[in-house]
Structure 1
Amino acid sequence: MTQKKNPFDLSGKVALVTGSTMGIGEGTARVLAEQGAQVIISSRKQDQCDAVATAFREQGLKADGKACHIGRMDDIAAMYAYIRERYGRLDILVNNAVLSPWRTIEDTDVGLFDKTVEVSLRGYWFMSAEAAKLMKTHGGGSIVNIASVAALHPDRMLSLYSTLKTALIGMSRSFAYEYGHEGIRANTILPGVFPTKLADAFDEKARRKILDKTVLGRFGKVEEIGYAVTYLCSDAGAYVTGANLVVDGGMTIGLM
């Protein structure tokens, strides 16, 4: 009897995860690699990319590192030139790198606004556009944009962050619509609170309040976003596109 293929298996796939030297990005890249993907670790600093990729390889995973500041168009072009030369294909793009200013609306000046848009929206758009060009040459692929439950429930001090995370929902749906006939799927994940630098900005009182509103009573583990990404990028999620997947332990239920 022929053994049925594991629908979550990513063997033979090439995956690029931005902002993957720490936090959700690193956890996601690790899960994808554990499922058999060749992962490209990426963030702004090459030495940090190399360190994480080396640690992965020492654990028997397939990884290499390539620095890319997604707010710089030249860096995006260099990344895709590298992917074409080294792998000739890209099957998975996870847009995770982000700039998250902790400011009131009135304290958000034009310079900070433009810098944040360059990374957190323009960067996602052109990383995805270049990925789509490459993906359609070999039958398709999967793009996952990491947004936030802040897209649904904005908070004080995070208005610009929330605004751009909301924009990612529309962006994913637009890419899903335009590239679906090419076999390219695009989806959005909306994480709740996870142990990241952004979460460190919350004081103990705020953290307690969040936990009280989270029905599972805990913060997320970074690998749990990786599992969600794996579903969306594998054969298990082959019929899912233009969707928003909330991974928040029930926090948004508690906020209703």
Structure 2
Amino acid sequence: MRLKGKTAVITGGANGIGAVAAELFGKQGAQVAIVDFNEQAGEAKAQQLRAEGLDVAFFKADVSDAENVKEMATQVIAKFGKVDILINNAGITKDAMTLKMDVANFKQVLDVNLTGVFNCTQAFLPTLLAQGKGKVINTSSITGTGGNVGQVNYAASKAGVIGMTKTWAKEFGGKGINVNAVAPGFIETDMISTIPEKILGQLKQLTPYPRFGTPQDIANAYLFLASDESDFVNGTVLEVDGGMLT
């Protein structure tokens, strides 16, 4: 088991990529804290995984609320005694062309996708630093590296995540904390379910690999960066996009 004896926190862990990662990490021996704003879905996922014999607990939190995140972090540490891995996976979209984008929707995406990553990392950093070892994995996107029409808020948030990742790698790498990012391409989740089939077909043609990604593909990338196998990987952005940006 690649994560035996580790404790992992996964935000946005109730559904999609986060839920798949929670199961994978649990099967690899980790204690897993599923963090999500959706209490019903989060509790259901935690109960399902516990029924499979995995050591999983759910913690409700709004990652955009710094005080709420601090309370959640206190609860996680009280439950598990430590944290070794933080996966900043929570994210939302509120797409629109720039001239039609509501300012509130622009701000909400940045509050969750960018400020939320800062809030969670800041809350767990004291514990990671005290241990002298830890892994922080932030979820960016190929939209954050290449942009995308109709997603100026999402692109800005994900580009910001890359900037924070590289800064933290320099700030905390010397203290035993690895900070990296994963940049998914188009992944088969609810997040792309609103994209018209015609556009999806065009996007699939832009991907050299003959399919879209799956949540398992991203969870596998998280697993590598969370494991001891990646101890000398720091400040990188791992693109998991089937070669779209090649």
Question: Shorter-chain-normalised TM-score: which range?
Answer: over 0.9
Say which SS state the counterpart of residue 33 (structure 2) adopts.
strand
Query: After superposition, what is the alpha-carbon deviation per residue over 1:34-69, rounded to whole angstroms, capped at 9, x for unaligned?
Result: 111111111102222111011111112211111111
- How many correspondences in the alignment? 246
State the shift of 1:204 in Å.
Answer: 0.8
1:22 lines up with 2:15 in the alignment: yes
Alignment partners' CA distance in 1, 2:184 and 2:237: 10
Give the unaligned 5+ runs of structure 2: none
Pair 1:175-2:168 in alignment: yes
Alignment of 1:71 onto 2:71: no
1:209 aligns with 2:202: yes
Contact 1:92 1:142 in 2 (8 A): yes
How much does 1:116 deviate?
2.0
Could you tell me the percent identity over the aligned residues? Answer: 29
Query: Is 1:193–1:220's contact at 8 Å kept on the other side of the alignment?
Result: yes
Verify: 1:146 aligned to 2:139, yes or no. yes
AA in 1 matched with 2:75: Y
Report the Cα offset of residue 108 of structure 1: 2.4
Instruction: Tell me which residue corresponds to 1:80.
Output: 73
| 1:114 CA displacement | 2.3
1:101 corresponds in structure 2 to 94
TM-align CA RMSD: 1.2
Q: Report the counterpart of residue 239 of structure 2 in structure 1.
A: 246
2:193 to 195, 200, 208: 200
Counterpart of 1:54 in structure 2 is 47
**Which residue of structure 2 aligns with residue 189 of structure 1?**
182
Cα deviation digits, residues 87-115 of structure 1 (max 9, x gap): 22111111111121111112223322222
Between the aligned partners of 2:91 and 2:77, the Cα distance in structure 1 is 25
Letter in 2 for 1:235: D
Which secondary structure does the structure 1 equivalent of 2:13 belong to?
Answer: coil
Deviation at 1:119, TM superposition (A): 1.0
Q: Which amino acid aligns with 1:68?
A: A
Q: Distance in 2 between matches of 1:46 and 1:115?
A: 20
Q: Is the 8 A contact 1:17 1:42 kept in 2?
A: yes
Corresponding residue of 2:217: 224
1:35 to 25, 28, 37: 28
TM-score (norm 1): 0.92
